[in-house]
Amino acid sequence: MTQKEKRSIVVLAVFMAVGLILFCVIALLSKGGERVVITRAGEELYNSPLSSDIELDYGTNTVVIKNGRVYVSKADCRDKICKNHKPISKTGETIVCLPNRIIVEIK
């Protein structure tokens, strides 16, 4: 194995190690969220406690808040990244629908 190849493997190993460490740190530090804030194109549509269960239909996207978790149940965008996203519940977590410029954030 050449020097270049050895260095490449080290680089890969370092990336993976750093990623794993960061992942554990973030997982340990994250707190349960308190409020859900939904904005469209920067304009605030919804800002209430995470504890209130509700289904919000905004035409292009439908956001569901239930049992302390938030997810997108319906979306008319092309890639549906927002809909396939795992439900969020911790402070700082977000679900974004870029084409419809909708951001669901837990604060």
Partner 1 sequence: MHNKVSIGGMLLAAAMIFSYLEHIIPFEFIAPGVKLGLANCVFLLSLICLGVKTAFSINILRILLTVLLFGSPVTLIFSLSGAIFSGVITVLLFKSKLLSVSGIGAVSGVAHNLAQLVAAMIVTGSAGVFWYFPVLLISGAVCGFATGVAADKISPRIKKFLK
The residues that touch partner 1, with contacts defined as CB under 8 A, are: 2, 4-5, 7-9, 11-12, 15-16, 18-20, 22-23, 26, 42, 77-79, 81, 84-86, 92-94, 96, 98-99, 103, 105
Check residue 90 and report its DSSP letter. Answer: B
* Nearer residue to partner 1 within complex by CB, 17 or 54: 17
Question: Are the beta carbons of 68 and 51 closer than 8 angstroms?
Answer: yes
Question: Are the beta carbons of 106 and 100 closer than 8 angstroms?
Answer: no
Rounded to a whole number of angstroms, the minimum distance from the CB of residue 14 to partner 1 is 9
* Nearer residue to partner 1 within complex by CB, 64 or 96: 96
* Nearer residue to partner 1 within complex by CB, 12 or 54: 12
CA distance 107 to 105: 6
- Strands annotated E in the chain: 35-40, 43-49, 54-57, 61-66, 69-75, 94-97, 102-106
Rounded to a whole number of angstroms, the minimum distance from the CB of residue 71 to partner 1 is 12
Rounded to a whole number of angstroms, the minimum distance from the CB of residue 12 to partner 1 is 5
